[in-house]
Amino acid sequence: MIFSLLLSSSLLAETPPDPVEETRVMLIHLLGERLDQEELSKSAVKGMVGHLDQLTGLRGSGVVNRSEREDNLAYQQGYREGFGLSVRFMTQQGALIESALPNGTAAQAGLMADDVIVAVNNHAFIGRTPSDMFQLLNHSESNPTVFDVKRENKLKRIKVFKGRYKINNIDKDQDTLRVQYFGDGASRDIAKAVKEHGAKPIILDLRDVSSGLVGEVTKVAGIFLGDNVLMGHRRDLSGNQGPIFSEGESIFRGKRMIILINRGTSGMAELLASALRIAYQAIVVGERSSGQAAEIGYYPITEDLFLKLADSQLLDAMGQTWNSIGLKPDVMVKSAMSLPSQNGRKVDVQLQTAIQILQNASP
């Protein structure tokens, strides 16, 4: 018994100190009640997973609490926090409101489709890049946010509070099927639209589609490719790799397809675009995509904290990654909505290019 205790004490004495725990104890001693221990723990975990992202080359890892995790689940179901606006950023000109969801706070405050946002919270959009405008619009800490918009050559100022709203999975306009998000029921909605579309060529608009549910994306691929067609691969952090196949019956009867992408096209939307280009020979038009090939998993750490981990990487059907570099379009067209038409309205040059390609290819 004495020997056992001495052995245990010897092993304990040789155990090296944990620098993370030592730092935590020291900071608590120095700052006392001023230190939020939950935030301190989150910061420590963020540092660890940030280092992991550097090692793997992936993006998106972090740590979230239960409330943030629930917000993520709501996001997958199509709920959003914000203004309920769909916009197109015009380089050095502003942001054109394409649509304002009726259940969104922006529409309820008076913003309308075809308004051009020229400033947010007194920060002018004129002369800024689309990335700068995106940051100003989506990361405003003011509530309400003050919008300055042009409507029929008149300037209006409208205050809008952020709120929760639900987006539609898709919008259909003539030969264009615009995907908003691959949320619950997206494959059902797209299948219905494709059946109604018939045998005509189609433009699948994946611009600003930020990932979505894997099962919905594989079913959408099945609508165009049929069942059990290789879409790509998934590689985990250990290097294990498995295939991703399309699901369901092909119902698209058209002979030509064009896919629109931009810097907002991300994750599973990038996988779908690459799969349709390889397997269906779809033509990809627009700008280079986001380059987000990481899939995110959630792992409980404590009762209230979850590890948000980029734990696998998506590859295309050829085994190539688009991580960090994005998908390069077959036809590069920059600055959507950048050309004025004869009546003064802005023209979506990416969409018009896609339409022209289809018209030129028609018999």
Boundary (domain end) residue, out of 165, 200, 229: 165
Look over the chain and give the mean of its residue pLDDT values, rounded to a whole number: 86
Whether 205 and 346 map to the same domain: the answer is yes
What would the mean pLDDT of 85-98 be, rounded to a whole number?
85
State how far Cα 300 lies from the chain centre.
23
Distance in angstroms (rounded) separating the CA atoms of residues 182 and 190: 10
Whether 266 and 197 map to the same domain: the answer is yes
**Total domains present in the chain:** 2
Whether 119 and 191 map to the same domain: the answer is no
343's CB contacts (< 8 A; 6+ apart) are none
Predicted TM-score of the model (pTM): 0.74
Whether 142 and 183 map to the same domain: the answer is no
Q: Which residues of 259-288 are buried (b: 16+ CB within 10 A; e: fewer)?
A: bbbbbbbbbbbbbbbbbbbbbbebbbbbbb
Whether 208 and 327 map to the same domain: the answer is yes
261's CB contacts (< 8 A; 6+ apart) are 206, 207, 269, 270, 273, 284, 285, 286, 287, 288, 289, 327, 329
Whether 99 and 175 map to the same domain: the answer is no
Task: Check pLDDT > 70 for residue 343.
Answer: no
CATH of the domain at 155: 2.30.42.10
Whether 289 and 155 map to the same domain: the answer is no
Boundary (domain end) residue, out of 121, 146, 165: 165
User: Where residue 348 falls among pLDDT bands split at 50, 70, 90?
Assistant: confident
Pairing state between β 283-286 and 331-332: parallel
What pLDDT does residue 2 have?
A: 43
327 found inside a domain:
yes
Whether 153 and 175 map to the same domain: the answer is no
What pLDDT does residue 48 have?
A: 84
CATH of the domain at 279: 3.90.226.10
34 found inside a domain:
no
Query: What's the domain range around 177?
Result: 168-361
Q: What's the DSSP call for residue 44?
A: H
Distance in angstroms (rounded) separating the CA atoms of residues 83 and 96: 14
Assess whether the previous peptide bond of 243 is cis (omega < 30° from 0). Answer: no
145 found inside a domain:
yes
Distance in angstroms (rounded) separating the CA atoms of residues 200 and 253: 7
| For the chain, counts of helices (H) and of strands (E) | 10, 21
What would the mean pLDDT of 227-232 be, rounded to a whole number?
97
Whether 280 and 211 map to the same domain: the answer is yes
Q: Tens digits of per-residue pLDDT, 267-317?
A: 999 999 999 999 999 999 999 999 999 998 899 988 888 989 899 999 999
Whether 151 and 186 map to the same domain: the answer is no
Boundary (domain end) residue, out of 106, 138, 165: 165
Contact by Cβ (8 Å): 246, 229:
yes
3-state DSSP assignment of residue 182: strand
Q: Tens digits of per-residue pLDDT, 145-188?
A: 999 999 998 999 999 999 988 888 888 888 899 998 898 899 99
